[in-house]
Chain A
């Protein structure tokens, strides 16, 4: 039996505003408990919400970035349920008239093909506070600092067909919200959170299977693992003659499993109705045009431009355009050294490896774009070879000397003086008569041995092309 996984994602993105969605309380992460919970956030009787204009701008930005319909008139609703981290006893959200309607996102699959994933909607809503279950004599502590922070909930169509696709979608979404500057998308701090609706069906089936909603997934890796695990659980269940029930499950990263949440809460009846303390939010064309004018170049457009402007491969362009910071870094390097291809190699390979190894973001790179540009410039003008450049690169980490100073002080400058190289070649030929004989007898592979010897003697500094040419000439006799 061949099974297919069907996935829809609901992603909550915490919008990076200074103040909360409906109050003037600060949103700084990590403040002491309840020091950022003002009277509205605490649902003091008589307090009222006033909508933060920056939240609207950010939501519309996102909508434009995914080519979505923008709700000309959006309406807030109350979603009613009791929970200690929900002070008002209802969450203000958008049900029937969200600010962002239907849109789509293009993702790149592993084999390089593109797939368009439909986005059903993206609506604005309030975040809840946090419950802390550590020991307060068996009680739970409630911190309402996060209560009322603005969220954009982005709901995809059930068009993702594997855990890998889900991760690709999530990464693309992450990239876009960071491009737009509407959220830092930090999953470990909870500024981007993902719920996955997962079902399985036989390949070719038309109907969807019954889905389970997995909550509490807080990293890209866990999204993949949770979906794989859940799909496997469902397949095994069905193959054993069981049935999947519609329910909410929690992903436990420690045990790598999902488990059912108490079914009692599933029977909730949220009693949505329009929030009478707020009026409809009306957006006109002029507003949308003004927001559109502020949009940065987005990943797909940037990738296409990198291909045409710099002659990069589609793959390299995609990597460089995957984040706004990386794209900007790359373009600065190119501007300094003037070599787009070399720059692409150095940024995507050497620099990326360095960043990955130390788990740092490119905006905190220990080697600035200016210095990397200078280094590549020295390869280009043949001051150093590509190989020596790697030594210089290593030396640049944790060293604020300029590229030229490093080359100078460590004596790494390439030898291009043909007299010196000729002397070197003569030495090597004279010192290895046996190999000379072999070469001249037709064993051309020995040539590499001479290059190696010459480089060894020159400590890698001999200009490789000159060395090559001279060796060839002298060996042929």
Chain B
């Protein structure tokens, strides 16, 4: 399956990646060659095959409803790019 530049732009936006207009063609080619390799799968009939999400048939363990975390705000915000009054700061979010 060959991707167009416009597909690349759409995917890049979904993934919040910036792809320079000059690179879009090259990126499209590389991704297309990966998709070609992937498309080998399409030759196999899998209609009645149940998808496998995890290697083993294990089930979810449950955790008791207990508070185990303590307030570590100052420590955890030491590594943040921008904070003020305990809040993480980002460019203005417009609804």
Contacts and interface: CB of A to CB of B under 8 A. Distances in A.
Interface of A: 17-19, 23-26, 32-39, 42, 44, 50-56, 80, 82-84, 131-133, 136, 138-144, 250, 261-262, 269, 271, 274, 276, 278-282
Interface string B14-45: 10100000000000000000000000000000
A34 B63 contact: no
B63 A52 contact: yes
Contacts of A24: 63, 66-69
13 contacts: A18-B65, A19-B69, A24-B63, A24-B66, A33-B85, A39-B69, A51-B61, A53-B63, A55-B65, A140-B89, A269-B14, A271-B14, A276-B53
A278 B62 CA distance: 11
B60 interface: yes
Given A50-B61, A278-B60, A26 B67 contact: yes
B64 to A, nearest CB: 6
Contacts of A18: 65-67
B59 A132 contact: no
B59 A279 contact: yes
A469 B49 CA distance: 90
A136 B92 CA distance: 9
Interface of B: 14, 16, 53-54, 58-69, 71-73, 76-77, 82, 84-95
Contacts of B64: 53-54
Contacts of B69: 19, 23-26, 36, 38-39
Contacts of A23: 69
B54 A279 contact: yes
B85 A141 contact: yes
Given A18-B67, A19-B65, A35 B73 contact: yes
A416 B44 CA distance: 98
A11 to B, nearest CB: 22
B91 A274 contact: no
B66 to A, nearest CB: 6
A408 to B, nearest CB: 51
B92 A133 contact: yes
Nearest to A55: B65
A133 B95 CA distance: 10
B95 A136 contact: no
A284 to B, nearest CB: 10
A53 B59 contact: no
Nearest to A35: B71
B62 to A, nearest CB: 4
Contacts of B86: 32-35, 143
**Which are the 10 A-B pairs with shortest beta-carbon distances?**
A24-B68, A141-B87, A54-B65, A53-B62, A38-B69, A142-B88, A33-B86, A35-B71, A279-B60, A50-B63
Contact of B90 (A36, A80, A142, A282): A142
Nearest to A82: B16
A281 B59 contact: yes
A140 B84 contact: no
Contacts of A250: 95
Contacts of B58: 279
Given A35-B71, A42-B76, A269-B14, A143 B65 contact: no
A38 B54 CA distance: 27
B93 A84 contact: yes
Interface centre among A39, A53, A132, A276 (most CB of B within 10 A): A53
B93 A133 contact: yes
Contact of B88 (A141, A261, A271, A276): A141
A51 B63 contact: yes
Contacts of A33: 85-87
B62 A56 contact: yes
A282 B65 contact: no
Given A51-B63, A53-B64, A139 B91 contact: yes
B72 to A, nearest CB: 7
Contacts of B61: 50-51, 279
A127 B30 CA distance: 38
